[in-house]
Amino acid sequence: MSEIMTGPEVNLESWVDNIISKYPPKVAKKRRRHMVVREDGEAGCSQTIEANTRTVPGIITQRGCCYAGCKGVVIGPIGDMVHITHGPVGCGYYSWLTRRNMYKARDDKKNYMSYCFTTDMQDHDVIFGGEKKLAQAIREAAQIFKPAAISVHATCPVGLIGDDIHQVAKDMEKETGIPVMAFSCEGYKGVSQSAGHHIANNKLFTSAVGKVDEPQPEFTINILGEYNIGGDAWEIERVFEKCGIKVLSTFSGNMSYFEMEKAHNAKFNLVMCHRSINYLAEMMEKKYGIPWAKVNFIGPESMAKSMRKVAAFFNNDELTKRIEAVIEEEVENAKKGIEPYLKGLEGKRVMLFVGGSRAHHYQSVFRELGMEPVVAGYEFAHRDDYEGRHVIPTIKVDADSKNIEELKVEADPERYMPAIDEEYRKRLEEEGVLSNYDGMWADMGGGTLIIDDISHVELERLILDFRPDLICSGIKDKYVIEKFGVPSKQLHNYDYSGPYAGFKGAVNFARDIDMLINNPAWKLARAPWKDRSFLNASLNS
Amino acid sequence: MAENHVSTTNACKMCTPMGASLAFRGVKGSMPFIHGSQGCATYMRRYIISHFREPADIASSSLGEKHAVFGGAPNLKKGILNVTEKYNPEMIGIASTCLTETIGDDLKMITTEFLSEFADLDLPHLVTVSTPSYSGTHLNGWKLAVRSMIEKFAGSSPALTADNTINIFPNFLSPADIRLLSGIFREYGLKTMILPNISDTLDSPSWEEYINIPEGGTSVNEIALAHRSGASIEFGYFHKGESAGSYLEENFSVKNYNLLPPVGMRATDALLSAIEEITGLERPQRFVNERGRLIDALVDGHKYINFKKALVYGDEDFVVSMVSFLCETGVKPVIAASGGKADLRKRIEAICEGFCPCPLVLEDSDFDTIEIAAADIKPDLMIGNSKGFKISKKLGIPLIRAGFPIHDRFGGQRIITTGYEGALSLLDLIVNTAITTLQEETRVGYGYM
């Protein structure tokens, strides 16, 4: 469509220099550190990227706020709780059912996903304080819904006027007899939604996990950082159950408060979204001795690999056999399902700018589909999500991160019970199975480009200069990308489709990607009268 | 909120900066800018985009904890510079938020300071509006932003002669409705200054080349001439200090016509009469025919919908104008609900006078309250935005989608409700919804209604 159509032969270093030169000098210097042209071999190992730093004001960013990370991402999906937004009406409204995390009510029939509950703060509350209104709102939530628990989420003005939401929560928990968790997740905290994840993790760990001891079967796991977008968690659960493995709690897609209280009774934690939930995994390991492994459920190969980590952990021949049998059967079915789409997808180039983990998770499934991820980046990840966890000790803690509390956790004297012995744990750690995440760029070799917290202008330059076949992003970029004639896949809400995880999900994904790329509208996008040769040819024939 | 609850369950309104950002989008080469935490811009963008299915950039000053303590001015200034450099806008429309209003950032002062600090640069026009999210609704934010643009620009142009231009302050209508309205004025041979004009900026064709800011919208130069227009026509209810039309009337003697949004027969009649009163022009034959067709359809459709009970909800102006139309069709509005406050009862009573009894009016309400009322009154159909779907599903009442936001159906930006044409299109929807119910409920299998 455009004359600038160039392709992969564009020199990446000069492309980066060029885009940077368009910024004012100070901004240019800052943005340069968020872009890395990957190199192979040792040179690649010593590369670093800057991430999790403050967004430049006025640059149109994909990022959200602390409240979005806490209420919107981690706490919101818990379905039998009422989540109260303490603040003006907007924040609650805009986070109302917008993330497609699905929930099925348990036997108690409690499901409050479709509710948006807010104190709808007015001038009066900002001037005189909102504590009384909040207390009354909690009272009403308890009376109307009788939920399993209640959460309170602070928005910007709450911290500024000094409402003590934690005291209100404590008092109201006593009064109503329903657990009330308060989160100081004011939007201005931290640099993105990432701060909100951490705040949410801390509170879940101190106030919910560990409340109810209940012995569990030998092969019991938790899944952390899986939000059941489009039903992903259900497909993952289906596969594990088929293997004879019990999924006790999933943080926090399709999560019931009561399951969260028991989560520490599981033997093993699987971490899907490293960014949003690694804090909880680490704290649970320290306190209860539950080891964790990073997994990826997207695409048949990654799914199988993740299942083999579970097999390695439990180290039980019977279980391993069952897992292998399930893998064989499911992979075969998935391959059959995917096969018809491969021809239309082969060799297509993809860019991914999404989330704090998703831009990595989807790379392997694209490779399985014969496609090639060429440029990628996260919205709100930290350096370890790019470079791997080994860089954590070297990450500089800046003022923004310092304000988010790091909990001091010690082993529980009675309940610290690792399911495997220390020697085997060490071995698995050395093999990279446990407590390990190599980050996105382990999968992005020389000649690829990584851009952290991409801005709008950068995205537009990428489209014009590289003409990718597909860009994976979120709704905020989707229509910009498609205006340019490039298909766009939303990896936050799956364009209202899904599930994409697991074996069955992979088939859905292949189908949807094929549908996007091979949409007949792309062939019609250029009006025939704009193309003289086409006209002549038609007229002469 | 039901039974005198202080909490709001399933709000029927959005916050003020949302409306301001939307209104700023209707100016040529304009970039809306929210001074606050970056989450505000992100949340509102995703909401606007899911309705319009269009790019909707809103810049942000991305305030952090430090700025919440020491003030957001430095970030706002940096942000304006960066937006200017990257997007080269003609105007930046800056709206405040609960955060920046609570810490007391004064937008007017900061931008004045900014303009003198960077006087050597070629800077865009800066318009500011105070929109604390804890005060009013998105509709108030919209009106305040329009008023602020008129206050800023009108009279700033030295043009001397009035031309046959009419100012239109259309309020929050769909891009398709704005196109339809401007067509009405074109038919009379009149020029218009529509503020804001989102007809292209939020409903643009696919692009063939890189576009910095979506094309379309009313230019600052046109707004600057608003004080020379023959008259202003504004739709909706305005609280004190919100009406751009009144401002022009008070300061520049441009006569202001405050009308109901032109939904339905009477409101459209009033609009055409106003145009004719202003200009002395004759009614074009096209509208005589359109009006005739609408009457014809009202007669034809009446038997299917008379006495059907309707629940209408949404922003305050949408609700009043929709009730006005329903009265004319024979449909009986039974609940009229809004999250906003705009003297609703009195206005709805006046509109229903002579047509039907006044419905139950719920002002400053939420969907929880609406649901309780609906369960009691059992309407046959609902008209409003996507947020009523939960009630529609639970109580089994068909929902006709109109207003904002519509994110569970396709084409929200193309829905027309105004003029005789819009009324016809709405009438078809309502009649067909009634027929569908009839057809599905019958056991005889009617295929010929």
ipTM for the whole complex: 0.95
pLDDT of residue A32: 96
Contact: A120, B82; criterion CB under 8 Å: no
Q: How confident is the model at residue A528 (pLDDT cuts 50, 70, 90)?
A: confident
Instruction: Using alpha carbons, select from A274, A272, A265, A257 the residue that is nearest to residue A198.
Output: A274
Taking the CA of residue A358 and the nearest CA in chain B, the distance in Å comes to 19
pLDDT in tens, A292-335: 999 999 999 999 999 999 999 999 999 999 999 999 999 999 99
**Residues A467 and A489 grouped into a single domain:** yes
pLDDT in tens, A21-60: 988 898 999 999 999 999 998 999 899 999 999 999 998 8
**Residues B267 and B313 grouped into a single domain:** no
pLDDT of residue A401: 85
Taking the CA of residue A133 and the nearest CA in chain B, the distance in Å comes to 7
Distances from the Cα of B272 to the Cα of B178, B263, B265, B282, angstroms? 15, 12, 11, 10
Burial B6-36 (b: 16+ CB within 10 A, else e): bbbbbbbbbbbbbbbbbbbbbbbbbbbbbbb
Contact: A89, B133; criterion CB under 8 Å: yes
- Which of A23, A57, A121 is opposite residue B62, by nearest beta carbon? A57
Residue B256 confidence (pLDDT) above 90: yes
pLDDT of residue A9: 65
pLDDT in tens, A185-213: 999 999 999 999 999 999 999 999 999 99
Determine, yes or no, domain membership for B289. Answer: no
Q: How confident is the model at residue A538 (pLDDT cuts 50, 70, 90)?
A: very low
**Residues B145 and B100 grouped into a single domain:** yes
**Residues B6 and B145 grouped into a single domain:** yes
- What is the domain range of residue B137? 2-153
Size of interface A-B (CB pairs under 8 A): 230
**Residues B357 and B322 grouped into a single domain:** yes
Determine, yes or no, domain membership for A465. Answer: yes
Contact: B134, A157; criterion CB under 8 Å: yes
Residues of B in contact with A114 (CB under 8 A): 390
- What is the domain range of residue A22? 1-62+346-388+439-496
Determine, yes or no, domain membership for B287. Answer: no
Determine, yes or no, domain membership for B288. Answer: no
- Which of B15, B18, B82 is opposite residue A59, by nearest beta carbon? B82
| A327 Cβ contact partners less than 8 Å away, ≥ 6 residues apart | A304, A307, A308
Determine, yes or no, domain membership for A136. Answer: yes
- Residue B332, Cβ density class (10 Å: 0-12 exposed, 13-18 middle, ≥19 buried): buried
Q: Does A157 touch chain B (CB under 8 A)?
A: yes
**Residues A41 and A86 grouped into a single domain:** no
Determine, yes or no, domain membership for B135. Answer: yes
pLDDT in tens, A117-140: 999 999 999 999 999 999 999 999
Residue A4 confidence (pLDDT) above 90: no
Give the C-alpha separation, B121 to A432, whole Å: 56
Q: How many domains does chain B have?
A: 3
Determine, yes or no, domain membership for B293. Answer: no
- Residue A501, Cβ density class (10 Å: 0-12 exposed, 13-18 middle, ≥19 buried): buried
**Residues A108 and A168 grouped into a single domain:** yes
Instruction: Using alpha carbons, select from A409, A57, A107, A375 the residue that is nearest to residue B83.
Output: A57
A residues 431-450 lying closer than 8 A (beta carbon) to B = none
pLDDT in tens, A492-525: 999 999 999 999 999 999 999 999 999 999 988 8
**Residues A118 and A155 grouped into a single domain:** yes
**Residues B274 and B368 grouped into a single domain:** no
pLDDT of residue A235: 98
- pLDDT (mean) for B59-72: 95
Determine, yes or no, domain membership for A37. Answer: yes
**Residues B436 and B352 grouped into a single domain:** yes
Q: Does A114 touch chain B (CB under 8 A)?
A: yes
pLDDT of residue A540: 44
pLDDT of residue A529: 78
**Residues A245 and A262 grouped into a single domain:** yes
Q: For residue B256, what are the β-bridge partners?
A: B232
Please answer whether residues A360 and A299 qualify as being in contact, where contact means their C-beta atoms are separated by less than 8 angstroms. Answer: no
pLDDT in tens, B153-195: 998 876 555 568 999 999 999 999 999 999 999 999 999 999 9
**Residues A199 and A72 grouped into a single domain:** yes
pLDDT of residue A536: 47
Residue at which a domain ends, from A207, A237, A271: A207
Instruction: Report the predicted TM-score, pTM, of the whole model to 2 decimal places.
Output: 0.95
**Residues B326 and B425 grouped into a single domain:** yes
Contact: B37, A156; criterion CB under 8 Å: yes
Catalytic residues of A: 65, 68, 99, 197
Chain B residue with CA closest to A137: the answer is: B7
pLDDT of residue A22: 85
**Residues A355 and A430 grouped into a single domain:** no
Please answer whether residues B417 and B402 qualify as being in contact, where contact means their C-beta atoms are separated by less than 8 angstroms. Answer: yes
pLDDT of residue A416: 98
**Residues B275 and B177 grouped into a single domain:** yes
pLDDT of residue B162: 58
Burial A200-220 (b: 16+ CB within 10 A, else e): bbbbbbebbbbeeeeeeeebb
pLDDT in tens, B96-145: 999 999 999 999 999 999 999 999 999 999 999 999 999 999 999 999 99
Mean confidence (pLDDT) of chain A: 94
Residue B80 confidence (pLDDT) above 50: yes
pLDDT in tens, A332-349: 999 999 999 999 999 999
**Residues B169 and B131 grouped into a single domain:** no
Q: How many domains does chain A have?
A: 3
**Residues B47 and B182 grouped into a single domain:** no
**Residues A243 and A331 grouped into a single domain:** yes
Residue at which a domain ends, from B130, B153, B176: B153
Percent with pLDDT over 90 in chain B? 92
**Residues A260 and A319 grouped into a single domain:** yes
Determine, yes or no, domain membership for B448. Answer: no
pLDDT in tens, A214-265: 999 999 999 999 999 999 999 999 999 999 999 999 999 999 999 999 999 9
pLDDT of residue B365: 97
End-to-end CA distance of chain A: 24
**Residues B196 and B260 grouped into a single domain:** yes
A residues 511-540 lying closer than 8 A (beta carbon) to B = 525-526, 530
**Residues B145 and B171 grouped into a single domain:** no
Residue written as token pair 């949807």: A512
- pLDDT (mean) for B76-81: 97
Residue A397 confidence (pLDDT) above 90: no
Query: Residue type at A433?
Result: V
Please answer whether residues A171 and A359 qualify as being in contact, where contact means their C-beta atoms are separated by less than 8 angstroms. Answer: no
**Residues A256 and A172 grouped into a single domain:** no
> Residue A490 maps to which CATH number?
3.40.50.1980
**Residues A275 and A414 grouped into a single domain:** yes
Encoding tokens for residue B344? 């609703």
Classify residue A413 by its DSSP letter.
Answer: T
pLDDT in tens, B14-46: 999 999 999 999 999 999 999 999 999 999 999
Q: How many residues make up chain B in this entry? A: 449
- pLDDT (mean) for A147-172: 98
Determine, yes or no, domain membership for B213. Answer: yes
Encoding tokens for residue A428? 């698995």
Among the residue ranges A452-456, A480-484, A529-533, the one predicted with the least confidence is: A529-533
pLDDT of residue A3: 34
Instruction: Using alpha carbons, select from B277, B189, B168 the residue that is nearest to residue B233.
Output: B168
Among A483, A519, A522, pick the best mutation site for testing chain B contact (most B Cβ within 10 A): A483
Determine, yes or no, domain membership for A372. Answer: yes
pLDDT of residue A5: 39
> Residue B196 maps to which CATH number?
3.40.50.1980
Contact: B134, A58; criterion CB under 8 Å: no
- pLDDT (mean) for B310-335: 98
- Looking at per-residue confidence, does B443 or A13 come out higher? A13
Determine, yes or no, domain membership for B437. Answer: yes
Determine, yes or no, domain membership for A19. Answer: yes
**Residues A454 and A408 grouped into a single domain:** no
Contact: B82, A56; criterion CB under 8 Å: yes
Residue at which a domain ends, from A496, A515, A531: A496
pLDDT in tens, B87-110: 999 999 999 999 999 999 999 999
Determine, yes or no, domain membership for A524. Answer: no
pLDDT of residue A532: 56
